[in-house]
Amino acid sequence: MGRNGKFSKSADRQARRDAKEKNARSLEDVAGEQGRYVPPDRSATDEKHFYLPVDGSATIKIAVRQWKQGGRLVDFFLAVVLTSWDATEEPHVYEIDCRHGHCHGHVVIEGRHSGEPDSLHRLDVVGDVKDALSVAVHKATAVASMIRDMEPEE
C-alpha cells in the first residue's frame, strides 16, 4: 500500500495479472484435466446410433453413438467418417469420446489414434456429459467441414 492507504499502481497491475492467471488456470481445469466422472457400464444403458450429415453428397458425415440411462445422457462417441465412392469402406479420421473423465478428440490415421488428444471438456458429474456433447458436435463439424473444403490433390 502507498502512503495514503491506497494500492500502488504496480500492486494493482500485479493483482490484475494474478486474476488473469487464476482465470486461465480455471479454464485449463475445465478443459484440460481429467474430471471425476466415470460413465456407467454400457450394458446397463440404452444405446442409440445415428449419423449427422455434413454435406449434401454424404461423402463425409459424423457418426454418433449415445448411451442413456433413465433417459439421461451418460456417455457418447462421435466419429468423423469418410464415405468411399462405392460405400464399402468408412474410415474414421477423427474420434471424440468421454473416457478418462474428460471429453477429448483423437486424430485417426490408418485406424490408430495419432498424437496427443484434443481435450474438449472436463467431466465431473453426469450433467457435464450433455454440455460436452455440444462442444464435441461443434468440434466434429469443424473438422469435417475443414476436410470437406480441402482442395483435392492433383
pLDDT tens, position by position, for the chain (154 residues)? 445 545 456 556 655 655 555 444 444 444 457 899 999 999 999 999 999 988 776 788 999 999 999 999 999 999 999 887 666 667 889 999 998 899 999 999 888 899 899 999 999 999 999 999 999 999 999 999 888 887 566 5
CA angle 139, 140, 145 (to 5 degrees): 100
Q: What is the pLDDT of residue 90?
A: 76
Question: What global pTM score does this model have?
Answer: 0.73
* Residue 20 backbone phi and psi in degrees, to 5: -65, -40
